């Protein structure tokens, strides 16, 4: 199996556990890293957002204290996901180098 797919599945599984079990388990077990923290921050921001998520807005640009952004997209992508106003500018134009993408139901699509 492709290593990228395995890593993606692992990150997605950890993100799901993070949502249901809580971040403290990962921190105490030494599994906390910037990617997991970014995924957790993005999912939390999505769940607590008062915005209409159906247009796929950028929620955190950047995620505080990181070089990650949090973007809402559809899976599969829709036209609204390609509108620059709905995308995170610091990922498109710098300096953010990483992203977390969730769907309007606050479920992880991908991160990188």
- Helix (H), strand (E), coil (C) string for the chain: CCHHHHHHHHHHHHHHHHHHHCHHHHHHHCCCCHHHHHHHHHHHHHHHCCCCHHHCCEEECCCCCCCEEEEECCCCCCHHHHCHHHCCHHHHCCCCCEEEEECCCCCEEEEC
Q: Which residues contact 101 (CB under 8 A, 6 or more apart)?
A: 71, 72, 73, 108, 109, 110, 111
Q: What is the pLDDT of residues 84-107, one digit of tens each?
A: 888 999 999 999 999 999 999 999
Tell me the mean pLDDT in the region 36-53.
96
Task: Say yes or no to pLDDT of 71 above 90.
Answer: yes
Residue 54 or 4, more confident: 54
pLDDT for 24 equals 45
Q: What is the pLDDT of residues 18-44, one digit of tens each?
A: 444 444 444 444 446 899 999 999 999
In whole angstroms, give the CA distance from residue 101 to residue 56: 10
pLDDT for 47 equals 97
pLDDT for 55 equals 86
pLDDT for 84 equals 86
> How many domains does the chain contain in total?
1
The domain of 98 spans: 3-111
């Amino acid at each position: 199996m492709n290593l990228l797919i395995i890593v993606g599945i692992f990150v997605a599984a950890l993100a799901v556990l993070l949502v249901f079990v809580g971040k403290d388990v990962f921190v105490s077990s030494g599994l906390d890293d910037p990617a997991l923290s970014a995924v957790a921050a993005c999912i939390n921001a999505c769940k607590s957002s008062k915005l209409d998520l159906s247009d796929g807005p950028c929620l955190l640009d950047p995620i505080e204290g990181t070089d990650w952004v949090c973007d809402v997209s559809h899976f599969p992508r829709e036209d609204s996901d390609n509108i620059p106003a709905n995308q995170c500018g610091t990922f498109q134009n710098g300096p953010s180098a990483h992203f977390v993408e969730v769907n309007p139901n606050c479920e992880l699509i991908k991160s990188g």
